Structure 1
Amino acid sequence: MYLGGVDGVELFLLGRTLMKIGEEALPDPPGGSARYAGSARTVLIVASDIAARQDTTVGEIAARTGLPQSQVSTAVARLKEAGSVQTAPDPADRRRMLVRPNPEVSPRVAQVRDAGVDDALATALGSDDPRRLAEVTEALEVLARHLAPARSGPSA
């Protein structure tokens, strides 16, 4: 099915553009480290997967996301350090750890969630025209309402 003049390639490229805008909107990483690199995308992918599923394992996350288990383990460690997730032994197999979103919002998670996107959108649009920003923001809100994972989960 072909909708409204947007094909699969255009949708894919739009998704990449939206990811770049999202990265620009994120607050600087803690500890003065360099701006987000590819590893940050991995952390966000893992965080999104954890948000969608309670009590999951690193192996299950790796299987669902297609990421190497070592990268998932590193991402989970970063999310745990940021206070985004909690881990606990699996009661069925105490050798495995279960990962779940932290029910309490850490200061870092609050900072990431509170980061506005207006400046990043204006930069991407090449304009700070309030009408254009409002139109794009409204479109993003519609997409988020219909397609985004639950917001209650972890953020990096």
Structure 2
Amino acid sequence: MAHMGPVELMLLGRTLMKIGEQALPSAGGGERTVVIVMSDVYDHPGTTVGEVAVRTGLPQSAVSNAVARLRSVGSVLAGPDPADRRRQLLHRNPEPTARQREVAAVDITAAVAGALGEHRPADLTEVLAALETLGRHLTRH
């Protein structure tokens, strides 16, 4: 087995992002940014748009647009900052939304099979099991 170094790990991450984007039911484009912003808000409850922009490296306008989409579907809630009532603090909605239920129900098998190609269909079960293991150990939500 070849050594998995930092560059290979980054390339694998990019490949997994592309597979995820293919499997994700479209909601009008910009899904990658929305997922990045949602993940950051979930990891940092009580954060602001500006703080998300700094942590993610995304432009503040892109973060604002993603937050607006997330708020419109109910995935992110916002409330006034007690220290500065002009600022909004962002939080995860503890209740699953219709969009979250829709996305959670998606079967990624076809997208993973497409990435493997016609020459390696026997590897599909192994790869799906590996992804489940990685997800269980490396993701927080």
RMSD of the alignment, in Å? 1.8
Q: In structure 2, what is the Cα distance between the partners aligned to 1:70 and 1:23?
A: 22
| Counterpart residue number, 1:50 | 41
Please list every run of 5 or more consecutive structure 1 residues that lacks an aligned counterpart in the other structure: 152-156
Deviation (angstroms), 1:61: 0.7
| Counterpart residue number, 2:126 | 135
| Counterpart residue number, 1:10 | 8
Please list every run of 5 or more consecutive structure 2 residues that lacks an aligned counterpart in the other structure: none
Q: In structure 1, what is the Cα distance between the partners aligned to 2:45 and 2:2?
A: 36
Q: Letter of the aligned partner of 2:84 in structure 1?
A: D
Q: Is the 8 A contact 1:26 1:112 kept in 2?
A: yes
| Counterpart residue number, 1:104 | 95
Q: Letter of the aligned partner of 2:10 in structure 1?
A: F
Deviation (angstroms), 1:9: 2.0
Q: Letter of the aligned partner of 1:134 in structure 2?
A: T
Runs of 4+ aligned structure 1 residues displaced above 6 Å come to: none
Deviation (angstroms), 1:99: 0.6
TM-score norm. by structure 2 comes to 0.90
Counting aligned pairs with the same residue, the percent is: 54
Q: Could you tell me which of 72, 75, 87 is aligned with 1:81?
A: 72
Taking CA–CA contacts closer than 8 Å with sequence separation of 6 or more, which of the two structures ends up with the larger relative contact order?
1
Please list the CA deviations of residues 97-122 of structure 1 after superposition, one character each: whole Å capped at 9, or x if unmatched: 01111111111111012111001011
